[in-house]
Amino acid sequence: MKKKLRLLFVTDMHGSEGVWRKFLNASAMLKVDLAICGGDLTGKMLVPVVNNGDGTYTYYFLGKTHTVGEKGIPKAFKEIVGIGYYPIKLSREEYEAMRNDPELQKRTFTRVMMEGVDRWLSLVREKVPSNTVVMVCPGNDDRFEIDEVVAKHSEVVNGEGRVVEVKGYEIISSGWTNPTPWKTAREEPDEKLEKRLRSYISKLSDVESSIFNFHAPPYQSQIDSAPLLDENFNPVLRGGRVVMVPVGSKAVRKVIEEYQPLIGLHGHIHESSGSIKIGRTWCVNPGSEYAEGILRGFLIELDGLKIRRLQRIEG
């Protein structure tokens, strides 16, 4: 029997620790039954903080070179992780070695990224009551190594390909997307993505009242509009305005139209926050302003087959 369900959905944090902490705090404050962080948890860049050997450290951040003393390190690290980058202290020798070794760069980034995810997940039970189910679903930008980190934390559910039941509602998740220009870790042609999604959906016992937590938004849904890019990945301008085009998944659109779940939770396209109805299914994308430290999400309340609240929140 389905009870009333209160859930918070956010996505696309890209390593911003401040936004992650706001998500955990909001989950507790709003007293939700289910807190979902959709795809793209991890950041994209290391910021070396190099020891100059004279008690000072130098790092390049947001287009400027900064030099601080030992006492300035905590503030520098806080600012760097605040927008989703990973700071790392290095000696001058370590920095030079890594600068000239792409494989060492890759290994170091992976290690620091995994440590960051581990630190995030360790905060869950400190911040969120034990009766709230906390779920994450690695997205296309998240490397596969983080799955083993999530698996270490029993208080967090990795939703990928699993039916997670909360108060009688079934949630099925996938962080995979249709192809992007950046050739990210978890993307594949729509034909393969459709097969994946159908295999996941087949695990549901009650599709009508289910929740599809699919990172890619449905194609031509208004919550999938992104700037058209030229061959150098720069936005195309016409008449002084950025040209926007649909970039969502046709596979996601197809399974939503066919199966008509109660609600679809999506992200991936930061610029296209909003909600739209496809048949009987409400589809939402909170958008993302992770670099500004802003939490964007949807607070949703379900009662049987009725959506009592579909409220966009920001803070």
Domains of the chain with bracketed CATH: 5-39+116-314 (3.60.21.10), 46-101 (no CATH)
Whether the predicted pLDDT of 1 surpasses 70: no
Q: C-alpha dihedral over 226, 264, 298, 14, to 10 degrees?
A: -50
Phi-psi region of 268 (alpha: psi -120 to 50; beta: other; left: phi over 0): left
Share of the chain above pLDDT 90, in %: 96
Alpha carbons within 13 A on the beta-carbon side of 220: 4
pLDDT of residue 259 exceeding 90: yes
pLDDT score recorded for residue 233: 87
Residue 220 · residue 253 · CB < 8 Å: yes
Q: What is the mean pLDDT of residues 85-91?
A: 96
Give per-residue pLDDT as tens, 285-303. Answer: 999 999 999 999 999 999 9
Residue 82: per-residue pLDDT: 86
Best CA proximity match to 169, nearest among 209, 134, 122: 209
